[in-house]
Amino acid sequence: MMDSPATGQHTATLTLDGKSLELPVLSGTMGPDVIDIRKLYSELGVFTFDPGYTATGSCASTITFIDGDKGELYYRGYPIDQLAERSHYLEVCYLLLYGELPNAAQMEDFENRVTRHTMLHEQMQYFYRGFRRDAHPMAIVCGVVGAMSAFYHDSTDINDPWQREVASIRMIAKLPTICAWAFKYSIGQPFIYPRNDLDYASNFLHMCFAVPSEPYDVDPILARAMDRIFTLHADHEQNASTSTVRLAGSSQANPFACIAAGVACLWGPAHGGANQAALEMLREIGTPDRIPEFIARAKDRNDPFRLMGFGHRVYKSYDPRAKVMQETAREVLDLLGIDNNPTLQVARELERIALEDEYFIDHQLYPNVDFYSGIILEAIGFPTSMFTPIFALARTVGWIAQWKEMLEDPATRIGRPRQLYVGAKARDYVEVENR
Ligand code: CMC
């Protein structure tokens, strides 16, 4: 349970048409203070206007903190680079869900619970078979996650803490199976069942790349890279998909419906879809000599083109996840003996040029997590269409942790933004023959 945000000694005063309102200023443990405007409408009769929520805090949270100016990211106070180096994804899941790192017994119990929930209801296979073979795996993942509420009725009551817990474990455990099967379906191969003797990342790789006709050994370096990608994507405070999950959850929708809403939001190229778009862009650039042409397009206000994998709403400095991704990309390509990968060459050169370019410096545009992740995923053997489902798999734990926190927060009310109405004034209906 989180403590209420501290109300500092100071207040902000807003004066409108001669009437003044003292607004409390709340302080968190890190980050800027926030002005509590909850009484604004009842006291002054006005709303705030903030499309895109660039200056609006939607909730108090104890889970993740980003310092966008310094390029720092913390899960429950632990820096992301330490977790990426020294922890592993399931331990990070525990940390995000329960607030503290587990001891050995807690870890074993959690791992057991996740491992024993990895199978899908057998009837879900038929659901898969209803999709076209050429469906984007993200469309399948979104549909199957939403359909979980039709298969697991005993964990849809959000008012029962035990059911909330079971739904959470089910989603963390089953997302790898759901994503791997979306992949298998798209390439016409048989579904591979989960293996409980493998760790989380190895099991996912096995379900994606094994076939029944011969053994498949998971390379530990690739499994480690996969695990690191999961860890780096696990949570990112109130981003678009997480806010979508919270908004859906605020209506008391069932957990599977809320996470399906998050998957749908993540799909867009401005959010989780950027990893697919970034790799496709690097391929389109093709060779370093074409980079200036693309940089010029990115700077041209009349051209909608953007450098995918660059820029972030919160980071105004290098995305700390991109640093770890860059190192992991190197390790994976070395392991696979891909030392002159043209996509990586273009990526490195594009990054170098962009970081020296006045436009990118002025706009504080740095590579983000999606800039390098696609290179790693491609080297592991995934098609670009699987990049965003993998992001969704990894982010599921963050969505769940945020959803649970919201349900347990007594301040939670249904999310219901207001608007500045600029449409037609009230007018009378006119019969069709008189229009
Ligand atoms: N390439 C060229 N110019 C850019 C880019 C870019 N990638 N990103 C922002 N800008 C410019 C933009 O044109 C605008 O310029 P001006 O002020 O001169 O009109 C300025 O920077 C601010 O852009 P914005 O769209 O107002 O910024 P935002 O905070 O609303 O958008 C963003 C953030 C991530 C959507 C955007 O940077 C973008 O579209 N990046 C490319 C897509 C991408 O890589 N997304 C992944 C984000 S990280 C993974 C995740 O968390 O989902």
Question: Is the predicted pLDDT of residue 3 greater than 90, yes or no?
Answer: no
What's the CA-to-centroid distance between 255 and ligand 1, angstroms?
Answer: 31
Q: What is the pLDDT of residue 6?
A: 65
Neighbour tally for 141: CB within 10 Å:
27
* CA 86 – ligand 1 centroid, Å: 31
The amino acid present at 189, given as its one-letter code, is: Q
| Mean pLDDT score across all residues of the chain | 94
**121 catalytic per annotation:** no
Is 36 marked active-site?
no
Beta carbon of 309 within 6 Å of any ligand 1 atom: yes
90, pLDDT greater than 60: yes
Per-residue pLDDT reduced to its tens digit, 389-407: 999 999 999 999 999 999 9
The predicted model gives 82-92 an average pLDDT of 97
Say whether pLDDT at 8 is over 80. no
Q: Can you give the pLDDT at residue 280?
A: 92
Contacts of 152 (CB under 8 A, 6+ apart): 121, 167, 170, 256
Alpha-carbon distances, residue 333 vs 278, 283, 309, 339 (angstroms) = 18, 17, 20, 6
370 lines ligand 1 (CB under 6 A): yes
Please tell me the predicted confidence (pLDDT) of residue 341.
78
Residue of the CA atom closest to atom 44 of ligand 1:
309
Residues 6+ apart with CB under 8 A from 22: 11, 12, 13
Q: Give the per-residue pLDDT at 166.
A: 96
Which tens digit of pLDDT belongs to each residue from 218-233? 999 899 999 999 999 9
Contacts of 50 (CB under 8 A, 6+ apart): 56
Average pLDDT over residues 308-329: 90
Å from CA of 363 to ligand 1 middle: 9
Q: Which residue's alpha carbon is at the smallest distance from atom 52 of ligand 1?
A: 271
pLDDT at 1 over 60: no
Q: Which whole-number Å values give the CA distances from 8 to 4, 13, 106, in the listed order?
A: 12, 14, 37
387: Cβ below 6 Å to ligand 1? Answer: no
DSSP 273: T
pLDDT of residue 335: 85
Question: Residue 4 has what pLDDT?
Answer: 63
Give pLDDT, residue 330: 83
